[in-house]
């Protein structure tokens, strides 16, 4: 328990001297009376609202609801902005800036006189970026997510964010959809505030946050515009004040067990491959041991949630079927005991949960697919590992041997992919280099490169693709991702040539380049790293310090935490 005198915020607002005067007086220009500085919990509301992050456009309203709850519980809410990352708007990729957001969040929390923090995020990188930053300071912390958009609707059918963009765009390339129809679908896809309503990275991360007990139950799936999300934000405001009083800091909630529960939940919901780099990075900040090995859960967990891209429904359906409490109930016998922000075991999150549509959320013993989860691949082509998402892949390609066709970088791929005489067939393995953390930079979501036009026209819809890139959580295909070390860090990927044979075995976890060690050593002698794409600013800092995908692609000097109270004053 903490009391008024020992609160962190009192080091700012409890001092009867020049410094206390300065801290309080300037805050009073917003109309706050004397008594709000009396030692009550001061709650920071860390907001990633931005008009350039459309997925987070509802967070301004939710912040007001959090404030209601904080005031009601006797706390003092203060909202502050941090950098926002609009996945669909930023170039070269929002992932380049995830670590910058994490730095912003960390330093804002540390520098200001707050006792607890509510993280308002949603769009893909905002949730992990905020959690990484918060973990490095370790105050009482709760997440309120944006919530998904309403289901997309077009020509009387449901259409899903991202997933149907990829499908429609391939249909246009194949000549099965007119450009006019393609453009018309655009307005029907994104119909309300909120994040992608497929089980993309945003809803995946929100689901995993719920599985880790870092938000109130039901936070993941309630639509952004559902009044119950506003109520949940209000209740979160109340709960964070109690957490400060209980001294329930983030490290008393987030643990190796809760992260392992997130890995299990990711399999059950058919979650995004991006969860790997995010969970590893969060664990690194929290000084919790977690490695790619922990993602090797094989066929232990079946696919339960029938949402795009692994299934057919959308997040609104998932919500109405019962949402994450039902998933956690189905997984209960597999989950590790782990604390939550309610200071109760995670099993409490599924108490009373009821499934209202078993076609949307399947039972553990009658799953949608028997073995879900990501597979970790290793071999001479990925000595530090690579991943594949079998639930979004073609069954017949999960065991495959084929000759490589290599694109040296993204520009090379774009220039060649539509050539009518590209020498490829459906057994070819497309290899893309230069898209890892250092290379692009920022490890963009381009791993699901398009099927070459000459094959699309023959009706080919999937083939094995290998790269050091990521892929959108809304995407699908037999796509090997996160190859580490990346090409620009001198990984074997850099040495692959067109015509080399590659063997993929998702079942055995193998990714092998069938070229002798001697030949690879010879090629390495002639390999020269591409010059970096940036020579100054944050991007240079990123290129110089980013770690590889197998450890979460955080910056090396940001790993770990610093929970010290800053004692030096500014004046
Ligand atoms: Fe923001 Fe999908 S683009 S959640």
Helices (H) and strands (E) in the chain, counts: 17, 14
User: Is the pLDDT assigned to residue 326 strictly greater than 80?
Assistant: yes
CB-based contact 10:115 (threshold 8 Å)? no
Distance 194 CA to ligand 1 centre (A): 8
Distance 397 CA to ligand 1 centre (A): 29
- Summarised one tens digit per residue, pLDDT across range 290-305 is 999 999 987 889 999 9
CB-based contact 517:383 (threshold 8 Å)? no
User: What residue's CA is closest to ligand 1, atom 1?
Assistant: 123
CB-based contact 285:560 (threshold 8 Å)? yes
- Summarised one tens digit per residue, pLDDT across range 9-51 is 999 999 999 999 999 999 999 999 999 999 999 999 999 999 9
CB-based contact 134:28 (threshold 8 Å)? no
Tell me what pLDDT residue 444 has. 97
Respond yes or no on whether the N-terminal peptide bond of residue 430 is cis (omega within 30° of 0).
no
Assess whether the C-beta atom of 189 lies below 6 angstroms from ligand 1: no
Residue among 550, 311, 549 at smallest CA distance from 445: 549
> Is the pTM value of this prediction over 0.85?
yes
- The DSSP call for residue 176 is S
Q: Which one of 194, 195, 474 would you pick to mutate in the ligand 1 pocket, going by the greatest count of ligand atoms within 8 A of its CB?
A: 195
Estimate to the nearest angstrom the gap between the alpha carbon of 173 and the chain centroid. Answer: 29
Tell me what pLDDT residue 4 has. 81
Q: Which atom of ligand 1 is nearest to the CA of 161?
A: 2
Tell me what pLDDT residue 174 has. 86
Assess whether the C-beta atom of 55 lies below 6 angstroms from ligand 1: yes
Ramachandran quadrant class, 391 (left: phi over 0; alpha: psi -120 to 50; beta: rest): alpha
Assess whether the C-beta atom of 87 lies below 6 angstroms from ligand 1: yes
Distance 189 CA to ligand 1 centre (A): 12
User: Measuring CA to CA, how many Å separate 240 from each of 28, 71, 341?
Assistant: 23, 11, 9
Tell me what pLDDT residue 473 has. 84
Tell me what pLDDT residue 550 has. 98
User: Is the pLDDT assigned to residue 2 strictly greater than 80?
Assistant: no
Respond yes or no on whether the N-terminal peptide bond of residue 92 is cis (omega within 30° of 0).
yes
User: Is the pLDDT assigned to residue 289 strictly greater than 90?
Assistant: yes
Q: 395 - beta bridge partners?
A: none
- Summarised one tens digit per residue, pLDDT across range 344-380 is 999 999 999 999 999 999 999 999 999 888 999 999 9
Ramachandran quadrant class, 552 (left: phi over 0; alpha: psi -120 to 50; beta: rest): left
User: What residue's CA is closest to ligand 1, atom 2?
Assistant: 196
| Percentage, residues of the chain above pLDDT 70 | 100
Tell me what pLDDT residue 372 has. 84
Rounded average pLDDT over 214-224: 98
Distance 87 CA to ligand 1 centre (A): 6
CB-based contact 371:302 (threshold 8 Å)? yes
Assess whether the C-beta atom of 224 lies below 6 angstroms from ligand 1: no
- Across all residues in the chain, what is the average pLDDT? 96
Measure the CA–CA gap between 433 and 438, rounded to whole angstroms.
11
Q: Which atom of ligand 1 is nearest to the CA of 146?
A: 4
Tell me what pLDDT residue 3 has. 81
Tell me what pLDDT residue 554 has. 98
- The DSSP call for residue 381 is T
| Percentage, residues of the chain above pLDDT 90 | 94
Q: Which one of 52, 56, 87, 198 would you pick to mutate in the ligand 1 pocket, going by the greatest count of ligand atoms within 8 A of its CB?
A: 87
Tell me what pLDDT residue 530 has. 87
Assess whether the C-beta atom of 88 lies below 6 angstroms from ligand 1: yes
Tell me what pLDDT residue 373 has. 84
CB-based contact 520:492 (threshold 8 Å)? yes
Measure the CA–CA gap between 564 and 178, rounded to whole angstroms.
60
Tell me what pLDDT residue 5 has. 78
Q: Which one of 49, 57, 85, 88 would you pick to mutate in the ligand 1 pocket, going by the greatest count of ligand atoms within 8 A of its CB?
A: 88
Assess whether the C-beta atom of 202 lies below 6 angstroms from ligand 1: yes
- Summarised one tens digit per residue, pLDDT across range 454-466 is 999 899 999 999 9
């Amino acid at each position: 328990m903490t009391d008024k005198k020992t609160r962190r915020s009192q080091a700012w607002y409890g001092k009867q001297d020049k410094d206390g005067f300065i801290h309080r007086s300037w805050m009073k220009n917003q109309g706050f009376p004397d008594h709000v500085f009396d030692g009550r919990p001061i709650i920071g509301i860390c907001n990633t609202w931005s008009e350039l992050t459309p997925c987070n456009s509802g967070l301004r309203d939710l912040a007001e609801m959090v404030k209601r709850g904080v005031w009601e519980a006797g706390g003092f809410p203060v909202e502050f902005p941090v950098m926002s990352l609009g996945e669909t708007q930023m170039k070269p990729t929002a992932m380049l800036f995830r670590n910058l957001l994490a730095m912003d969040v960390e330093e804002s929390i540390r520098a200001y006189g707050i006792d607890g923090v509510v993280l308002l995020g949603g769009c893909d990188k905002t949730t992990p970026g905020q959690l990484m930053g918060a973990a490095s300071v370790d105050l009482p912390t709760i997440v309120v997510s944006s919530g998904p958009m309403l289901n997309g609707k077009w020509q009387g059918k449901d259409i899903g964010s991202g997933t149907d963009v990829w499908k429609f765009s391939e249909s246009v390339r194949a000549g099965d959809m007119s450009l006019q129809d393609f453009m018309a679908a655009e307005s029907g896809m994104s119909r309300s505030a909120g994040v992608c309503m497929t089980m993309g990275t945003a809803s995946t991360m929100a689901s995993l946050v719920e599985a880790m007990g870092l938000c109130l139950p039901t936070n993941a799936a309630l639509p952004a515009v559902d009044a119950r999300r506003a109520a949940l934000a209000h209740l979160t405001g109340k709960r964070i004040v109690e957490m400060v009083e209980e001294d329930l800091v983030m490290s008393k909630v987030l643990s190796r067990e809760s992260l392992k529960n997130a890995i299990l939940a990711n399999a059950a919901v058919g979650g995004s491959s991006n969860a790997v780099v995010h969970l590893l990075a969060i664990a690194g900040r929290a000084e919790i041991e977690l490695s790619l090995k922990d993602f090797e859960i094989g066929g232990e967990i079946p696919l339960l949630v029938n949402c795009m891209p692994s299934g057919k429904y959308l997040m609104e359906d998932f919500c109405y079927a019962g949402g994450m409490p039902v998933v956690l109930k189905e997984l209960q016998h597999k989950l590790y005991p782990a604390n939550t922000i309610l200071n109760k075991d995670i099993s409490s999150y599924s108490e009373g949960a009821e499934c209202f549509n078993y076609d949307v959320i399947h039972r553990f013993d009658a799953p949608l697919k028997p073995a879900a989860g990501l597979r970790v691949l290793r071999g001479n082509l990925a000595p530090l590992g690579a991943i594949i998402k079998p639930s979004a892949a073609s069954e017949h390609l999960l065991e495959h041997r084929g000759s490589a066709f290599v694109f040296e970088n993204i520009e090379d791929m774009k220039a060649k992919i539509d050539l009518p005489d590209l020498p490829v067939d459906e057994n070819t393995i497309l290899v893309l280099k230069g898209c890892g953390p250092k290379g692009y930079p920022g490890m963009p979501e381009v791993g699901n490169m398009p099927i070459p036009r000459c094959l699309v026209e023959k009706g080919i819809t999937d083939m094995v693709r290998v790269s050091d890139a990521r892929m959108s959580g809304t995407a699908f295909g037999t796509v090997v991702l996160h190859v580490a070390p990346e090409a620009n860090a001198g990984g074997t990927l850099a040495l692959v040539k067109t015509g080399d044979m590659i063997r993929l075995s998702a079942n055995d976890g193998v990714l092998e380049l069938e070229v002798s060690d001697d030949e690879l050593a010879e090629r390495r002698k002639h390999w020269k790293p591409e010059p970096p794409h940036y020579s100054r600013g944050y991007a240079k800092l990123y290129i110089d310090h980013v770690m590889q995908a197998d450890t979460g692609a955080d910056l090396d000097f940001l790993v770990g935490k610093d929970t010290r109270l800053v004692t030096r004053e500014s004046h």
